[in-house]
Amino acid sequence: MQRADLLCFSHLRWNFVFQRPNHLMSRAAATRRVLFIEEPIYGTGQPHVTTSEAQPNLLVLTPHLPQGLTGLGAITAQRTVLERMYTELRVSDPLVWLYTPMALDLTEQLSPSAVIYDCMDELSGFHGAPAALQLLEARLLARADLVFTGGASLCRAKRRRRRDAHLFPSSVDLHHFQAARSKVDEPADQRELPGPRLGFFGVIDERMDLELIANVARQRPDWSIVLVGPVVKIDPASLPRLPNIHYLGQKTYDELPRYLAGWDVAIMPFAMNDATRFISPTKTLEYLAGGKPVVSTPIADVVSPYGEQGLVAIARDADEFVAAAARILAGERPERERVDAFLARNSWDQTWQAMASLIEDAVAKRRRTRPGQPHHASPEERLPGSAALGLDAGR
């Protein structure tokens, strides 16, 4: 029997920074067709959907809407063009997987075999988050057959509403990042930067402590601070500009190990704010897989377990950051055997296998309890104003 298609609604675009949705959907596509549905792009012309094949069995669907179309009009237009695409692709009784509650109103017409909410971030903590995001999430938490969470802090928060929320913290593609432990041909834009090098890859946005970065650079002008990644939702003019801070821009996932290989210390200079309160940075494991010692600010899901187990150095301010990096450069670092033992228990393959098992159970349970009955939102679930929200919560 052919497995049901999986419709994944994401606030992150497939070709953005390669992270949790990419890792999981790539693995899902090994056993079923995946349609990865992005937030709309606004421009000219009539509403339509473009498709591209990201890999075998995985199609990226991007709705295009006329500029100025918002609220209920935008939702209705997206439903219409997506339904047309579902018919063309012969989608029936799909798995519905959401990364953003803002897409919930796009799923009401579907008859899913199961609804999965994979909560990888507390989106309501980001600057500019829609006012009704928390109300929409309440609907989704009530409706979902399965709730997955991307970190321990986030799981504790979601269990206040869903006691059966499952913890699946950040994992790692070991083979990919272990390439950084070998001698590699360094990228041209990093090759000539003087050492020692402190490096970061990821999104440069409101979660970054720009003042801390500037202070570290000022204290140690002989160190190069290498920042790899796109600048998103903050004014580029706000970035600290010092001779030893180097912004190399966004790189592909395949390129990251080559940059990582050339660093002496990997850093996570996150600000301590609402946007970072529940994060569980995937890059922690990626840095460690690449054989690099790590210094991080005291993000809760980094302190426990990484800091407590001595796998990552924790620094509260620029002075501590400089001191921790200096100790590493002098030779202090965690034992490779302990790091590798931890990494071996936290692969994306293991995470997906555990998720897939829960999904099969959820599909079977729904068949037993609601045979042939599609879910439609009840009046209680349809909170006031939810249908009129825009879908621009991406980052």
378 pLDDT more than 80: no
8 Å CB contact between 40 and 81: no
101: in domain: yes
In the structure encoding, which two tokens stand for residue 117, read together? 């909410």
Kindly state the average pLDDT of the residues 89-97. Answer: 94
Where would I find the beta strands (DSSP E) of the chain?
A: 6-9, 34-37, 41-43, 48-55, 58-66, 95-98, 114-119, 146-149, 166-167, 197-201, 224-228, 245-249, 265-268, 294-296, 313-314
What pLDDT sits at residue 369? 79
Task: Tell me, yes or no, whether 220 and 314 share the same domain.
Answer: yes
CATH classification of the domain holding 333: 3.40.50.2000
Task: Tell me, yes or no, whether 358 and 338 share the same domain.
Answer: no
Which pLDDT band, with edges at 50, 70 and 90, does 371 fall under? Answer: low
Task: Tell me, yes or no, whether 355 and 334 share the same domain.
Answer: no
On the question of a cis peptide bond just before residue 196, with omega within 30 degrees of 0, the verdict is yes
Kindly state the average pLDDT of the residues 349-370. Answer: 92
Element housing 354 (H / E): helix 348-369
Kindly state the average pLDDT of the residues 34-48. Answer: 95
Q: Cα separation of 201 and 87, whole Å?
A: 40
Task: Tell me, yes or no, whether 190 and 157 share the same domain.
Answer: no
Domain span at residue 246 reads 174-344
Task: Tell me, yes or no, whether 103 and 131 share the same domain.
Answer: yes
383 pLDDT more than 80: no
Which residue is associated with the tokens 């609402």? 274
231 pLDDT more than 90: yes
Which carries the bigger pLDDT value, residue 348 or residue 368? 348
Task: Tell me, yes or no, whether 152 and 192 share the same domain.
Answer: no
Kindly state the average pLDDT of the residues 57-62. Answer: 97
Provide the number of structural domains found in the chain.
2
Task: Tell me, yes or no, whether 155 and 239 share the same domain.
Answer: no
Task: Tell me, yes or no, whether 97 and 201 share the same domain.
Answer: no
What pLDDT sits at residue 99? 96
Which residue is associated with the tokens 């439903």? 79
For residues 238-264, b (16+ Cβ closer than 10 Å) or e, as one string? Answer: ebbeeebbbebebbeeeebbbbbbbbb
What pLDDT sits at residue 174? 96
394: in domain: no
393: in domain: no
Phi, psi dihedral angles at 178 (to 5 degrees):
-65, -15
Kindly state the average pLDDT of the residues 208-226. Answer: 98
179: in domain: yes
The mean pLDDT value of the chain amounts to 91
What pLDDT sits at residue 370? 66
Q: Cα separation of 22 and 25, whole Å?
A: 5
Task: Tell me, yes or no, whether 166 and 234 share the same domain.
Answer: no
User: What single letter denotes the amino acid at residue 213?
Assistant: I
What pLDDT sits at residue 380? 33
Least confident of 22-31, 281-290, 382-391: 382-391
What pLDDT sits at residue 386? 30
The 10s digit of each residue's pLDDT in 119-154 is: 998 877 777 767 778 888 999 999 999 999 999 999
Residues 6 or more apart whose CB falls under 8 angstroms from that of 162 comprise: 141, 144, 147
355: in domain: yes
The 10s digit of each residue's pLDDT in 304-348 is: 999 999 999 999 999 999 999 999 999 999 999 999 999 999 999
Report the DSSP beta bridge partners of residue 55: 58
What pLDDT sits at residue 375? 42
Task: Tell me, yes or no, whether 325 and 362 share the same domain.
Answer: no
Task: Tell me, yes or no, whether 141 and 290 share the same domain.
Answer: no
Least confident of 62-76, 136-150, 217-231, 371-385: 371-385
Which residue is associated with the tokens 């580029």? 236
Q: Name the domain boundary from 310, 326, 344.
A: 344
Task: Tell me, yes or no, whether 331 and 380 share the same domain.
Answer: no
3-state secondary structure of 191: helix
What pLDDT sits at residue 356? 97
1: in domain: no
